[in-house]
Amino acid sequence: MQELINKAKTLLESGEVARVLGWKKGEYEYDPEPAFFETSESLKDFVYNGFCGANLSKYMIEAGKKEGKTLVFLKPCDSYSYNQLLREHRVDREKAYIVGVGCKGKLAVSKIPFEGILNISGAEYPDAAETLTVETLYGTETIAYKDAMLERCHVCKGKEHVVYDELIGESADTVDADRFAEVERIEAMSPEEKFAFFQSELSKCIRCNACRNVCPACSCRKCVFDSTAFDSEQKANTTSFEEKMFHIIRAFHVAGRCTDCGECSRVCPQGIPLHLFNRKFIKDINALYGEYQAGSDLESKAPLTNFTTEDAEPGVGRG
Amino acid sequence: MYKIKKENLTALYAAIAAENDLFLPIKAAGQTNFGLWTENAEVDIDTLKTVKSGKDIFFPQSETLYKVRREEGKFAIDGEAPRQTPFVVFGIRGCDVRALAVLDKVFLSDPIDSYYAARRQMGTIVSLACGKPATSCFCKVFGVDCAEPEGDVVTWLVGDTLYWKAKTKKGEQLTEKMTSLLEKADEAAVEAEQAAIRAIVEKLPYSKLSLDKWGAAAADANFDSPIWEQMYKPCLACGTCTFVCPTCQCYDIKDYSTGNGVQRYRCWDSCMYSDFTMMAHGNNRTSQMQRFRQRFMHKLAYFPANNQGMFSCVGCGRCVDKCPSHLNIVKVIKAFEKEGV
Amino acid sequence: MPVTENWKPKIVAFCCNWCSYAGADLAGSSRLAYPADVKIIKVPCSCRVNPMFILRAFEKGADGVILCGCHPGDCHYSTGNYYARRRMTLLFSMLDYLGVEEGRTRVEWVSAAEGVKFSETMNSFVEKVRALGPNVRLGDLRCKN
C-alpha cells in the first residue's frame, strides 16, 4: 500500500497528475470509500486492502471533464471496464495515468456472518492472511479469506491488466469455481422452476438503481428509466413486471459491453444475484458468436454491432 | 408481563393472523423483510435489521390512489379506500417504531394523509427489543432505548422465551385475546436482559456521536460548508439510503396508462435522483452535491427546524450498512464534528 | 382471466415496411385468412425493434409477439435484419431463461411475395399461443382489467 501512496505523492508533487483517484479509509477496515485526493497531505487517508472492491473506472468519466490528468488505481478486472469505456469514447486516455494494482481477491462484509463487527484484520494488501480475524462486540471470530470473497473473485478473469501505464503489486489466483455453472444450473430447470427462481429473487428489488448507477457500462447521460418522456420511468417498484422489465432491459443494454465486473451484484442491497442476467448473455454470445470478452481490446467488433450471414435463427435450440 | 416459548410462536402468529393481517420479518431468497404472515412463510425475528424498514407497512413503497376507467364513452373514477381492517406488526425494532413518530409529523399534520392515518389507526405495534445491537447502530444518539422500545406491546427475546408486555390500550386488547397462549411472568429476566443490552449500547462505537453541530440552527450554518463538496464525490446517486431508511418520506405521484384507463399511484422518491422534484421550470437541485447535501440537511437541520427540534434520523444504521460507496450519515456527522464549520 | 373455449390470444406482429408488411398486404388482397387478433405494427426495418418493444407489448397485454422482416440478405437497408436476428436470438434466450414459456415469441422472415407464408405463419403462431393460454408471466396486472 505504501508503494501506491509513494507513487501518488510523486506524481502529484511533480504536477504530472492533478488528482488521484483511489480509496479512502473509512471508519473501519471494511468501509473504504472511493475518493479523489488532490494534495499529498490528504493521501494520509489513502487505503488499499481487501475491502477496496469498488471499481473506480466509471469515476473516470467525471474525472475526464476536469483539468489535468487523473492518476487512477485499477485492479485487473477494473481495467477491462476502463478499456470498454475507452472504446465507447466515454473516457479520455490522455487524461488518465493508470496504475494497475495487484489484487488478491476482494471481500464483502455481507459475506461475513458475524454480528456486531468492529474490526477485521487479515485483509491487508499486499500481505493478506489466509484467515480473517473478525473482532466483534460479542467476541472474536475467524473466517477463511476465501469464504468472505466476492462472488466475482471466485470466477476471476485473470491477473493481467488490459490497460495501464505502470503496474504495482502482485495478484493472486483466486479462481475456484466455474463462471457459468450457476447459469447452467438455471438453464437446466423447468420453465416453472426458472420462473419461480427469478420471481423470488427479483421481488426483492427495491428499484434503488444502485446496480445501474455503479455499472461502468451504464453510462448513458439519461437512462430510459429516468426519462419523463415515456412511461418507462418507474421510480418505485409497483408491480413484479417492472422489476423484470428493468433488469432484462438493463442486462440487454449492456450485453456485449458488460465485462462481468460484478459490481451490480456487489452493491445490491437486497443481495440479488444480478450477474446471472449478464452472464447468461455472455454465455450465449460465446456459444453463438464466438468467445468474446468485453473490454479486452479496443479493436474487435462487439457481438451486437456485428453479424455473419450464417448466424443462428432466433429461438434456435428451444425445446 | 407475560411470556411464551419461542417454539410456540407459530401458534401465536396463527392466533394473531386469525383476526388481523400480521406483518413480521420474513426471510425470502436470503433476505429478511417485513411481509404478510402465512403458514409457509419463514419467519425470521433473529435478524436485527430487515433490509427495508417497517415503514413500508404504513407508507408502502407504492400504492394506488385511484383508477380512471373508460366506460361507455365516459370516465369512471374508482377511489382507493383507506384501510379499514386491523393489522398487527410484530417484531419491529425500537428505531423503526420511533421512525413512525417522525412520519406522523409529516403525514398527520394538516393536511392529514388519510391513507397513512387509517393505517396508523388500524395497526397494532408489537415491538421487539434488540438483544444484539450492531456496530452500525446509533439509536441512542436520538434518544431511542432499544432495550425498551416504544409500541403497543413490547417484547423481549431472552434465550428461548419471548417476554410480552402491553403498553397501551390497543396492546392490552391484543394481549387479552392471546391470553390462552401466554403465561404470566415476572420482570426479572427482562430486567437482566435490559441491563445487558444497555451495557452493549454503551460500548457501541457510534453511541457517542455528537449532534452539537446540528439542529434547527444548522440550516444556515452548515449549508455552505466546504465539507459537502469534499464528501459527495463517491455518491453514486442511487436511492439505496433513502429506500432502506425508516424515516425518508418523500414521494412522487405518477400516472400509469393501462391501455384502457389510468391508474394514479404514489411511490417513494429519492432526493438522490436527478429528476427529484422536477417541475415545469426544471429542477431545484442540479448537482449531485446539492442532492447529497439535501438528504443530510433534511434529516439533521430542516426537519428539526420545522418540528420542534426533532431529528428525522433514528439511528437504525441501515444506510451505514447498505451504501455501495460506504458513505453515510455517521461520516457526515463526524466530518462536521471534526472540522467545525 | 378465465380461459374459455372461445378465448382468443392477443398477438402483436411487428412487420418491416419493405417485405413483411407488404407480405401481409398481399395476404389480404389474396383473401388469405389469418386471425383478426393479430395486430400489425409497421416498423421501418426489423432492426428498429428494440427488446423493450417486445416487453412493452407483453406488458400491455399481448399473449404473443412475433417479429417479421425481410429474408436475411434481402434487407432494404442491406443488413438491418442481421442485427435484428442477433438481438432477438439473445432476447428470446433470456426470456426462456426467465421461465417465460417459449412459443410466445417468434421471428419469421416474410418477403413481399410471400402472402401465403404470412398467413400460414400467423395461423400457426396464433394456434401455438392459444394452446399456451393467456400470458401471465410477463404482463402488468394493471393492464388486465
3-state secondary structure A69-113: CEEEEECHHHHHHHHHHHHCCCCCHHHEEEEEECCCCCECHHHCC
Contacts of B256 in chain C (CB under 8 A): 142
Q: What is the pLDDT of residues C18-62, one digit of tens each?
A: 999 999 999 999 999 999 989 999 999 999 999 999 999 999 899
Q: Which residue of B has its CA nearest to A138?
A: B132
Chain A residues whose beta carbon lies within 8 Å of the beta carbon of residue C73: 309
Cβ contacts below 8 Å, chain B against chain C, sum to: 10
Is C143 within 8 Å of B263 when comparing Cβ atoms?
Answer: no
Residue contact B268–A235, C-beta within 8 A: yes
* Structural domains of chain C, with CATH: 11-133 (3.40.50.960)
Residues 131..150 of B with a Cβ closer than 8 Å to A: which?
Answer: 132-135
Which of C46, C75, C86 is the best residue to mutate to test the A interface, defined by the most A CB atoms within 10 Å of its own CB? C86
Q: Flag whether pLDDT at C112 surpasses 60.
A: yes
Contacts of B259 in chain C (CB under 8 A): 60-61, 143
Q: Is B200 on the interface with A (CB under 8 A)?
A: yes
> Among candidates A138, A241, B17, A87, which has minimal Cα distance to C135?
A241
B263 touches chain C (CB under 8 A): yes
pLDDT at B101: 97
**How confident is residue A319, by pLDDT bands cut at 50, 70 and 90?**
very low
Q: Do C85 and A193 touch (CB under 8 A)?
A: no
Please report residues of C whose CB lies closer than 8 A to that of A224: 52
Chain A partners within 8 Å of B28 (Cβ): 200, 203-204
CB-CB neighbours of A221 under 10 Å: 6
Which chain A residues have a beta carbon less than 8 Å from that of C94? 248, 251-252, 277, 280-281
Neighbours of B230 (CB within 10 A): 15
pLDDT at position B274, please? 87
**Helix axis angle, B9-19 relative to B169-178, nearest 10°?**
120
Q: Which residue has the higher pLDDT, A185 or A243?
A: A185
Q: How far is A197 from chain B (nearest CA, A)?
A: 9
Of B240, B269, B327, which has the smallest distance from its Cβ to A33's Cβ?
A: B327
Contacts of B244 in chain A (CB under 8 A): 206, 208, 269
Q: Do C83 and A245 lie within an 8 Å CB cutoff?
A: no
Angle in degrees, CA A221, A276, B49, rounded to 5: 85
From chain B, the residues in CB contact with A26 under 8 A are: 326, 331
Predicted pLDDT of residue B327:
94
List C residues 57-96 in contact with B (Cβ-Cβ < 8 A).
60-61
Contact: B256, C61; criterion CB under 8 Å: no
What chains are in contact with B, requiring at least 3 Cβ pairs below 8 Å?
Answer: A, C
Whole-Å CA distances, B148 to B95, B181, B195: 11, 23, 10
- Provide the residue-wise pLDDT of chain B in tens; the chain has 341 residues: 999 999 999 999 999 999 999 999 999 999 999 999 999 999 999 999 999 999 999 999 999 999 999 888 889 999 999 999 999 999 999 999 999 999 999 999 999 999 999 999 999 999 999 999 999 999 999 999 999 999 999 999 999 999 999 999 999 999 999 999 999 999 999 999 999 999 999 999 999 999 999 999 999 999 999 999 999 999 999 999 999 999 999 999 988 888 888 999 999 999 999 888 888 888 889 999 999 999 999 999 999 999 999 999 999 999 999 999 999 999 999 999 887 54
Segment holding C13, helix H or strand E? strand C11-16
Alpha-carbon distance A106 to nearest alpha carbon in chain C (angstroms) = 29
Report the chain B residue with the minimal C-alpha distance to residue C144. B258
Judged by CB atoms closer than 8 Å, whether chains meet at A304 and C98 is answered as no
pTM of the predicted model as reported, rounded to 2 decimal places? 0.95
Residue B28: is it exposed, middle or buried by C-beta count within 10 angstroms (0-12/13-18/19+)?
A: middle
Q: Which amino acid, residue A276?
A: L
Q: Domain coordinates of chain B in residue numbers?
A: 2-203, 218-339
To the nearest whole angstrom, how far is the Cα of C22 from the nearest Cα of chain A?
A: 22
Interface of B with A in 73-92 (CB under 8 A): none
The residues with which A144 forms a beta bridge, in sequence order, are A131
The mean of the pLDDT values for chain C is: 93
Taking the C-alpha atoms of residue C32 and residue C24, their distance in angstroms, rounded to an integer, is 9
pLDDT digits (tens, 9 = 90+) for A276-289: 999 999 999 999 99
- Residue B266: the pLDDT is 92
Would you tell me how many other CB atoms lie within 10 Å of the CB of residue A184? Answer: 11
Closest-CA distance, B96 to chain A, in angstroms, reads: 18
pLDDT at A231 over 70: no
- C26–A contact, CB cutoff 8 A: no
DSSP string of B136-178, one letter each residue: T--GGGGT--TTS--SSEEEEEETTEEEEEE-SHHHHHHHHHH
Instruction: Give the residue on C whose Cα is nearest the Cα of B260.
Output: C143
Beta strand pairing call for A19-24 and A33-37: antiparallel
**What is the domain partition of chain A in residue ranges?**
2-106+158-168, 181-305
pLDDT tens for A120-158 read: 999 999 999 999 999 999 999 999 999 999 999 999 999
User: In one letter, which amino acid is C122?
Assistant: M
pLDDT > 70: what percent of chain C? 97
Half-sphere exposure of B282 (CA within 13 A, CB side): 4
* Mean pLDDT, rounded, of chain A: 94
Distance, C-alpha B225 to centroid of its chain: 29
The tens digit of pLDDT for each residue in A92-115 reads 999 999 999 999 999 999 999 999
Residue of C59, C89, C99 with shortest CB distance to A312: C89
Instruction: Report the residue of chain A nearest B265, measured CA to CA.
Output: A238
Q: Write the single-letter amino acid at A53.
A: G
- C74/C81 Cα distance (integer angstroms): 9
Q: Check: CB of residue A106 under 8 Å from CB of residue A19.
A: no
Residue with cell 433470456: C94
Q: Is the pLDDT of residue C2 over 90?
A: no
The whole-number pLDDT of residue C38 equals 96
Confidence of residue C5 (pLDDT cuts 50, 70, 90): confident
Note whether B29 contacts A266, CB cutoff 8 Å: no
Query: Do A228 and B275 lie within an 8 Å CB cutoff?
Result: yes
Chain A residues near any Cβ of chain B (below 8 Å)? 26-28, 31-36, 54, 59, 115-118, 136-138, 200-201, 203-204, 206-210, 212-214, 226, 228, 231, 233-238, 266-267, 269-272
Which among B6, B41, B7 is positioned nearest to B25, based on CA atoms? B41
* DSSP 3-state of B317: coil
Residues 223-262 of B with CB under 8 A from C: 256, 258-259
As beta bridge partners, residue B33 has B26
